[in-house]
Each structure stands twice: as structure tokens, then as C-alpha cells.
Structure 1
């Protein structure tokens, strides 16, 4: 699978402010960058820093008034689907140290408040079979509806409301997985067929000795996803963070399948 990515961000920064961009596709063994070009129109130089867990990179920029960023890329995805139900359990004490933070509650993924639900509803399941059951539950019980959540909506709020957008689906699946003893993190991604076209958020669960991408919205398969960044929740993977205030003028995210 080869994907073409075309992103334009056009904002007005209300006074001078630092801007953190997370829009570049991450290099990895399962996705190869054939072309990548990020252009930020600013009077100040940009600075790249490593992303969370060494995945991808963040770009620091400076905005003062009109702020525009353009990103183009061609990515080849070399990731094969995995039958999660066949993946076995790993005792928590034997998990790699880097997975442990993703077992703990975070600001938008209150996994500690969902432990009772997971223990009661999925008592006989662990590892891969539990991941499949949790994904199915989130997909079957939530309704995808734009405008029904905000930047402060948490997994518990989504659990109660039973509706949301990709960010909310990812938060709830991550929280449920952590409640069931599966390390889980949120991932910002590009994917074709996302409706409406936008930056996408999915979950990534550590099962059977490795990380596996899961889109509970069912809009994309793991073989269609281009990973950008990972983190505990949406706080860590926002495509643009302005340390000040900004007004959106225009934004476009286009992801297309290539021959």
C-alpha cells in the first residue's frame, strides 16, 4: 500500500507564540518514506525534536500573525494484518519497561474507573482475545457523530454518552485495554477513506510481544494507517499545539491511495 499525503494548515496566531507541530509521518520498519516535505512559513527557524518513544519527530516553530504550514509525503506501508485473537498473554511483571506507562491511567483515559466493568463483562478473556472483544464492544456501542465531543471529553464521558469521533473511540479503547492489563497508547495517523477527511486517531495495543494498531471506528485497517506519533492520550499526539491563542482560517488533510 502506497499513500499520498497532502496537508495544509492556515491559522492566524493572536500575538507571538511557540507552535508545536506533529504532522510528519514517522519512519519505521512497517512504513517507508519515499518522499517527505514540510514547509513552515515563518520568520523564525524551525527545530525538529524526537517524538515520544523515539517514534517520529516534532517540529517547533514560531508564529506571529499569519501562520501557514504545508506537508507533503508519499509513504509505503509494509504492515501485514495480524489475527489478534491468536496472540497470547504476557504477565505484567515480564513486560518491557517502556510499556508500563501505558498500563496506567492518564488525563483522558481513566482506566482505573473502568476496571470493574472489564472484569465483569470480559472476565474470562486476556491478551489477544480480550483486545478483539474490547474493540468489538467499542465499535458496536459507540455512534460516530461529529460535534458531539470537545477537546476535554474523556474516555469515561464517552463511555457514558456512547458517541464521539475518532479521538473518543481511541481514548475509550485505550482505557478499556489498560483496565484489562493490556498496555495501550493513542496514535495519531493518516488514513484513506476517513470521513470527514482529517487527521485520524487510533489505538495501539501491546500484545504477544509487540504493538498492534487498531481502529475501533472501522474506517481503516492496520494496513492502511500511517503512524505519525504515539502517546498516553490526545495530549501527547495533537497535530498542532499553540502555546498561546490562534484562529483557524483553513485546513485541509487529503490522503489518497497510489498505484
Structure 2
């Protein structure tokens, strides 16, 4: 499925400031670029570095004054789609080494605080059945409320408040999965159904891969219901939102504006 993506944002740095950006769609096998263009205000320093898991890239800039980013791409998503519910949870000792970090607590996702809850609420379910039950629980119990959370809001905060935005839904899904012994990570992405239009966030869980005996694979889960795996364009992945923020400033900056649009296009 092809999409046209436009993203722009601007900020002000009153003195030379290092800023780490991650806003471009990732060049991975399931995403084929038809065209792409990135424009940034000239800066003293510009460097591309690999992002986490080598999914996408980050950009270092040394910004001063008004700084603007404009990004456009046309991209086609061709992702294998698998029903999650029948999938088996892998035993911990069979997990690939690179997935183990996604079992542990992180800044926004404190899975150990939720173990008693998942045992009580989902204790009779395992693997994909448990993931989908948790998805449905979050979808039923949370309200999508822009402005209801902030940069310091954790999954525990969201669980108590029962409201938030896509970032918070993803954090809670990641946390519940980790509390169940299922590796889970945070995915920054673009998607056409996001309202209001913005960068989007979903969870991704590691379960068995039925095409590879003894193997596993990552599966996208969006408890907001705004996106499906077939129309999610990945930007990057991480332990939580701190790893894949579109902008991380290592100094004082004033954020000015942001505009995102994602539209499905015809191949013809």
C-alpha cells in the first residue's frame, strides 16, 4: 500500500545546541521508497548515525537560532500480515539475544509494577491470546485525550488516569506485555488514520514465527485502533518513547510548530 508523507517542524535555539532528530521513514525491507526528500536549515554540524536496531537513522545537528525541518516521501508498505491471537509465546531461554532487553523495565515502562495485575486479569491466557486480550482491555478502558499527558507521563501514570494519546497507549501495551514475559518495544511511525494528524506510536511484541520452526518475529499492535499493520510506516523502535523521540535537545530550545500529513495514494 503506497503513502505520501509530509512532515515539518521548527524550533528556536538561543545558543549553539546539539539536537538529535529522528523523523524519517526507515529504509527496511517491508518499506519501499518511491521518492524522498529531506531539507533542514543549515547548521554548524550535521551527521547521520544508525538508530536503534539499525531501523532508521538519527540525525545530529548543531542548531542556533530558528531551525526548520521539512520532509516528504512516497513509500509503499508491503508487510507480511499475521493473525496474532493463535501465536505461541516463546520460552525465555529460546529468545534471540537482541530481544532480551525488551523484557526489562525502562524509563516509561515499569513492567514489574504490573505483574500482579496481568496475572489477575489475564492469567488464564497465554501468547497471542493474552496480547489481544490486553489490546482489547486498553482499548475499552482508556480514552484518547490530546493534552492529557506530557513528557514525564509513564505507563503507570496512564494506567491510573485511564487516558492519554498514542504514546501512552503504546507504553501501557509494552508494559503489560513485558509484565507477561513477552518482549515488547515502542515503535515510532506514520499512519494515515491518526486524528489529529501527528507522529504516531504503537507497540510491537515478539512471538513465534509460524514460518520458521523455533523462530520468532515482531508483530505490530495499536490499541488506539487508528492504525493497522498494513498502513503503518515505521520510523524507529526503542525501549520506550525516550529512544525514538523525533527531537531530543541537549540544551534549551523553544519548540515552535509541527505539521504532519499521511495520505494513501494510488499506485497508478
Taking structure 1 as the reference length, the TM-score comes to: 0.98
Q: What is the aligned partner in structure 2 of residue 27 from structure 1?
A: 27
Measured in 2, the distance between the counterparts of 1:112 and 1:36 equals 42
* 1:153 Cα deviation from its structure 2 partner: 0.4
Partners of 2:99 and 2:116 in 1: CA distance: 22
Q: Which residue of the partner structure matches residue 106 of structure 1?
A: 106
Q: Which of 230, 236, 255 in structure 2 is aligned with 1:248?
A: 255
The residue that corresponds to 1:220 in the other structure is: 227
Q: Deviations over 1:2-37 (max 9, x none)?
A: 011111112111211011110111111211112122
Give the 5 Å matches for 1:158-197. 158-197=158-197
Task: Name 1:16's counterpart in structure 2.
Answer: 16
Determine the structure 2 residue equivalent to 1:257. Answer: 264
Provide the residue aligned with 1:132 in structure 2. 132
1:220 CA displacement:
0.6
Deviations 1:27-85 (A, max 9, x none): 11211112122111123241110010111110111110110111111110001432101
What are the within-5 Å matches in structure 2 for residues 83-102 of structure 1? 83-102=83-102
Q: Secondary structure at the match of 1:157?
A: helix
Give the aligned partner of residue 74 of structure 1: 74
What is the alpha-carbon distance in structure 2 between the residues aligned to residue 231 and residue 250 of structure 1? 25
The equivalent residue for 1:231 is 238
Secondary structure of the equivalent of 1:218?
Answer: coil
Partners of 2:16 and 2:63 within 8 A in 1: yes
Q: Which residue of 2 aligns with 1:156?
A: 156
TM superposition shift of 1:109:
0.3
Cα RMSD over matched residues?
A: 0.9
What is the CA distance between 1:215 and its match in structure 2? 0.9
Match of 2:39 in 1: 39
- Offset at residue 193 of structure 1 (A): 1.7
The total of aligned residue pairs comes to 259
CA distance in 2, matches of 1:20, 1:238: 9
Segment of structure 1 superposing worse, 23-32 or 229-238: 23-32
With 99-108 and 27-36 compared, the bigger mean Cα shift is at: 27-36
The answer for unaligned runs of 5 or more in structure 1 is none
**CA distance in structure 1 between the partners assigned to 2:96 and 2:68 by the alignment:** 40
Asked whether the equivalents of residues 51 and 58 of structure 2 are also in contact (C-alpha less than 8 Å), the reply is: yes
- Are 2:43 and 2:61, in contact at CA under 8 Å, matched by a contact in 1? no
**Deviation (angstroms), 1:245:** 1.6
Are the aligned partners of 2:21 and 2:246 in contact in 1 as well (CA < 8 Å)?
yes
